[in-house]
Structure 1
Amino acid sequence: MVSVTIAEEGQQGQELDTGAVRALQGLEDSRSSVRMRAALAVGTAPDPRFVDKLVERCAVEPEFFVRDMLTWALTRHPVSLTLPLLLREVGSERAQARSQALHTLSKIGDRRAWPTITRALLSDSDDEVARSAWRTAVVLVPEGEESGLATVLATQLGRGERETQLSLSRALVALGEVVLPVLRDATTAPDRQVRTHALATERLLHDPDAGFEFAVEEAKRVVALGGDGQEGR
């Protein structure tokens, strides 16, 4: 088999076959289709020497579908290798690095990562990072700590545009009935948008098939009429 040594990747003395070399090079190709195929190849034939490059590319890859393939490729490698690198990335100054590392942690689902999901991440100023943190927190939260998580998530009610609010509502709904006390408290908040978002989220909790847009419009009507949606409860 033809083989070469990739010294520049810090793999001196370790040889990769030409297919692996092409895959690693393909991850940096200017064409997204080539990067996608390269990530697929790396995930299909996992090798510990790919992990650093996969994590590195997650932080800078501009295409959503390629990033998702990079995450899939990382999940194909041993957690003992990927977890330390992903936990490091969660503390990166680069927003995309934080967001994608969190997304990958949610797919791996190893609860040893839970201590990394801090209040600061759950309220990160970057919406994509915050959304990834919300989704990841719901996956990793230990049994018995759901109520505390709900309390922190509720501080983000009313934040951002539709997609951000929908992400938060989904995270809260995924926690189940434990979120009801914090949602009901939020329905009396001074901020109109917080009240509306809380009511819409509660509607989704009780009726998941209602749809977010319908829930929001109904919540807006309740708030406009000066109610908090708690009559008859």
Structure 2
Amino acid sequence: MLIGEVARRSGVSARMLRHYEALGLVRPTGRTGSGYREYSGEDIRRIFHVESLRSLGLSLREVGRALDDPGFEPSALVDDLARRTRERIAAEEELLVRLRRIGAAEPGDWEDVLQVVALLQGLGSESAGKRQRAALSSVGEVPVEALVEAALRETDTNVAGALRWALAQAGEGASALLAEGLDAPVAEVRARAVRSIAEMPGAEATALLRQALAHSDVVVRRYAALALGARGVADAVPTLVDMIVEEANDVDAADALSALASDPALADRIATGLVGHLAHDSLGPSGRRRLAQALADIPGITSSRALAELSRDEDRAVALTATYVLALRDTR
């Protein structure tokens, strides 16, 4: 079969067939009387083998090795091809995400496109300073999805604060996207998600924080309780009380309870929650001292009675703390 017919039947151009011949991949075994290349059935099978291997992503050099080396083992090469394919797919997916984000920013001209690209690159920079500058410049310039992704992966404290600020300015939609981070398998990501939601204004963020009070991750519950306490949400009281008992951000928890206790309807509930732990035998002197300190700013008879009892505590430090707190309350 002559080269033109082979090209028509195989779908491989005559030019490529000549290239294969130059590389030694497929050499026609015969010549016509006029000197034209003539391919045998075996030659044509070889062409199809070459094309099949090329379809897997092998280079022509790798195809030659696979077909001509009797000791060639395909498993390692196939594994390498799979790895390269995964990397290529990841790169293409990253590009697709970037293109979608640029499109979502609705650029008006190429200058706008370049601005969005620069900010997206800044958010992904290895330099914390560049990431922070990009975060502070990104409000209204990049899609909120990009800010959320950056906030959930950020490890630098200053950059994380800038990203949370940017998200708080971003308006509706950011809270729901951040909420997906609450179910992340990595604890640090869950913590970043709830801290970001805590700085989001509005009822949507408050509702998500309420739900987070029942989260399986204790860190998420505690961040949510502190944020809700600052928003005046009574649902946070039990978790805040537990934080004082467990010495987990107890000072912040006490401040949140003090703010909530400004509502007379909540003051007695908070005092009852704190005093209820005093009856537990497992509560040591340090725990009783923390409770005495927390009761200082909780008005009402329940707090006063508990402090009077603590002023006679067998532990001197607890007794002195309670006595001091009672004296302060008497001067107010």
Superposed, 1:6-155 pairs within 5 Å as 7-9=96-98, 11=100, 14=103, 15=107, 16-43=112-139, 46-47=140-141, 49-79=142-172, 81-116=173-208, 117=210, 118-121=212-215, 124-126=217-219, 129-140=220-231, 142=233, 146=234, 148-155=235-242
Kindly report which structure 2 residues correspond to 1:195-206, keeping only aligned pairs within 5 A, or say none. Answer: 195-205=288-298
The change in CA–CA distance for 1:223 and 1:107 in structure 2 (over 3 A counts) is farther
Shift, 1:131, TM fit: 4.1
Instruction: Measure the CA separation in 2 of the matches of 1:66 and 1:136.
Output: 20
State how far apart, in whole Å, the 1-side matches of 2:297 and 2:195 are. 24
Greater shift in the superposed pair: 190-199 or 23-32: 190-199
Any conservation in 1 of the 2:226–2:236 contact (CA below 8 Å)? no
**Which of 243, 247, 251 in structure 2 is aligned with 1:156?**
243
- 2:127 maps to a residue whose letter is R
Q: Shift in Å at residue 133 of structure 1?
A: 1.7
CA distance in 1, matches of 2:218, 2:239: 15
C-alpha displacement at 1:137, in angstroms? 2.0
List per-residue Cα deviations over 1:18-63 (Å, max 9, x = no partner).
12211111111111111110001102xx14x521111111122111
Distance 1:173 1:88 in 2: 32
Task: Return the alpha-carbon distance in structure 2 between the equivalents of residues 85 and 56 of structure 1.
Answer: 9
Read off the aligned partner of 1:159 and give its amino acid letter.
Answer: E
Name the aligned partner's letter for residue 138 of structure 2: V
CA contact (8 A) 2:240 2:254 kept: no
- Structure 1 residues 31 and 73: CA distance shift in structure 2, 3 A: same
What is the letter of the counterpart of residue 158 of structure 1? V
Whose Rg is larger? 2
Q: Which residue of 2 aligns with 1:172?
A: 257
CA change 1:141–1:98 in 2 (3 A) is farther
CA separation of 1:74 and 1:166: change in aligned 2, threshold 3 A: same
- Point out where structure 2 has 5 or more consecutive residues left out of the alignment: 1-94, 262-266, 300-309
**Alignment correspondent of 1:187:** 278
Whole-angstrom CA distance in 1 between matches of 2:130 and 2:206: 34
Distance 1:109 1:41 in 2: 20
Alpha-carbon shift at residue 229 of structure 1 (Å): 4.2
- Indicate the RMSD between aligned Cα atoms, in angstroms: 3.3
Contact 1:99 1:133 in 2 (8 A): no
Structure 1 residues 223, 156: CA separation in 2 closer, same or farther (over 3 Å shift)?
Answer: farther
Displacement after TM superposition at 1:72 (Å): 0.9
The higher-RCO structure (CA 8 Å, 6+ apart) is: 1
Return the TM-score normalized by structure 1: 0.72
Judging changes above 3 Å, is the alpha-carbon distance between structure 1 residues 17 and 175 closer, same or farther for their aligned structure 2 residues? same
Please give the per-residue CA displacement for 1:153-193, whole angstroms capped at 9, x wherever unaligned.
323333246xx222222222221124122122223332114
Letter in 1 for 2:183: G
Distance 1:50 1:112, change over 3 A: closer
Shift of 1:130: 4.4
Percent identical among aligned pairs is 20
Pair 1:194–1:33, CA change in 2 (3 A):
same
Give deviations 1:129-148, integer Å, cap 9, x for gaps: 44422222224565xxx1x4
